[in-house]
């Protein structure tokens, strides 16, 4: 048993530190969330929760990510997502882009809750599914707020339309319900020079539910829980029931446990 555990640990370390060549991008993709102009095959698999590609040219890093797992999607939309960049090829979380931040989705969730809409009241299954899909898409539609991390003592907050240094980022949802993330990250936007980087560490990390300790009343989930069990393994949505009740149900099961830790992965990309 000890031999098996040791070998398993070695596999994990090897996988986490494996290096892959950055694909060369001759023609920059259009950053619109549709990814039709990418010609490379996806890396990663569903077990890793992220399918992705990381390409580059002399000036920019190009990233596309696909997320199909419902719990990962919920943490992505509601609690934010960060792409980390480590020019030393390691896993230092000092430089990165946080988009979405989760703030706008939280506002939309609150608006939905106040509207009194409830998917479960719709008897037509096709219409209910269409409503759920539209709700899910709306959480990431036209997200403007982003944060640049590591360029100052505190993250620099900006609107996406206010960025003038060539950074571009877009979100969309494909026909299967998977979230699509697409970005152009100029090296200069992060004060990096590609010629000085042999191996770039790149990390993907969702946010998580923050648990607040309430004296005498146990734990409570912060950050707003989605209505009626949004999420789960397949990313389904239920009705817009009470937020508190949903939080209590999820806290009692494995779904809440999954929401209380981020979904993340790292890879190392050879740039030379």
Residue 114 clears pLDDT 80, i.e. is over it:
yes
Residue 1 lies in a domain: no
Residue 226 lies in a domain: no
- pLDDT of the residue at 215: 57
Confidence of residue 126 (pLDDT cuts 50, 70, 90): confident
Residue 232 lies in a domain: no
Residue 258 lies in a domain: no
Confidence of residue 216 (pLDDT cuts 50, 70, 90): low
- Render pLDDT for 73-112 as a digit per residue (tens, 0 to 9): 999 999 999 999 999 999 999 999 999 999 999 999 888 8
Q: Return the CA Rg of the chain.
A: 20
- Render pLDDT for 157-184 as a digit per residue (tens, 0 to 9): 999 988 888 999 999 999 999 999 999 9
Pairing state between β 96-98 and 211-214: unpaired
State the average pLDDT over residues 221-243.
39
Cα gap 58→67, rounded to integer Å? 28
* CB neighbours of residue 89 within 10 Å: 18
Residue 227 lies in a domain: no
Residue 212 clears pLDDT 80, i.e. is over it:
no
Residue 6 clears pLDDT 60, i.e. is over it:
no
Q: At what angle do helices 103-115 and 70-79 cross, to 10 degrees?
A: 100
Q: What percent of the chain has pLDDT over 90?
A: 57
pTM, full prediction: 0.80
Q: Which residue has the tokens 């806290």?
A: 251
- pLDDT of the residue at 183: 97
When the pLDDT of each residue in the chain is averaged and rounded to a whole number, the result is 80
Residue 228 lies in a domain: no
Q: How many domains does the chain have?
A: 1
Residue 115 clears pLDDT 50, i.e. is over it:
yes
Q: Which residue has the tokens 């009626």?
A: 228
Boundaries of domain holding 128 = 20-207
Residue 130 lies in a domain: yes
Residue 241 clears pLDDT 80, i.e. is over it:
no
Quick one: tokens of 187?
């090296």
- pLDDT of the residue at 56: 95
Cα gap 18→150, rounded to integer Å? 25
Residue 257 lies in a domain: no
State the average pLDDT over residues 63-74.
95
Residue 252 clears pLDDT 90, i.e. is over it:
no
């Amino acid at each position: 048993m000890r031999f098996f555990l040791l070998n398993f640990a070695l596999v994990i370390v090897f996988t986490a530190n494996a290096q892959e060549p950055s694909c060369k991008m001759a023609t920059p993709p259009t950053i619109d969330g549709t990814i039709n102009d990418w010609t490379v095959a996806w890396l990663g698999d569903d077990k890793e929760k992220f399918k992705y590609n990381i390409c580059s040219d002399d000036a920019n890093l190009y990233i596309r990510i696909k997320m199909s797992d419902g719990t990962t999607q919920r943490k992505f939309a509601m609690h934010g997502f960060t792409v980390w960049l480590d020019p030393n090829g390691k896993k230092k979380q000092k430089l990165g882009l946080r988009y979405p931040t989760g703030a706008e989705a939280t506002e939309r969730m609150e608006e939905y809750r106040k509207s009194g809409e409830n998917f479960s009241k719709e008897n037509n299954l096709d219409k209910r599914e269409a409503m759920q899909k539209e709700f899910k898409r709306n959480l990431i539609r036209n997200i403007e707020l982003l944060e640049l991390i590591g360029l100052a003592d505190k993250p620099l907050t900006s609107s996406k339309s206010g960025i003038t240094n060539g950074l571009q980022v877009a979100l969309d949802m494909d026909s299967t319900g998977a979230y699509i993330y697409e970005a152009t990250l100029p090296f200069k936007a992060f004060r990096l020079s590609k010629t000085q980087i042999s191996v770039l560490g790149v990390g993907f990390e969702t946010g998580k539910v923050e648990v607040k300790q309430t004296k005498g009343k146990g734990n409570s989930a912060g950050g707003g829980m989605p209505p009626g069990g949004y999420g789960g393994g397949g990313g389904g949505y239920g009705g817009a029931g009470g937020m508190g009740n949903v939080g209590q149900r999820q806290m009692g099961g494995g779904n809440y446990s999954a929401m209380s830790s981020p979904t993340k992965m790292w890879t190392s990309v050879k740039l030379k």
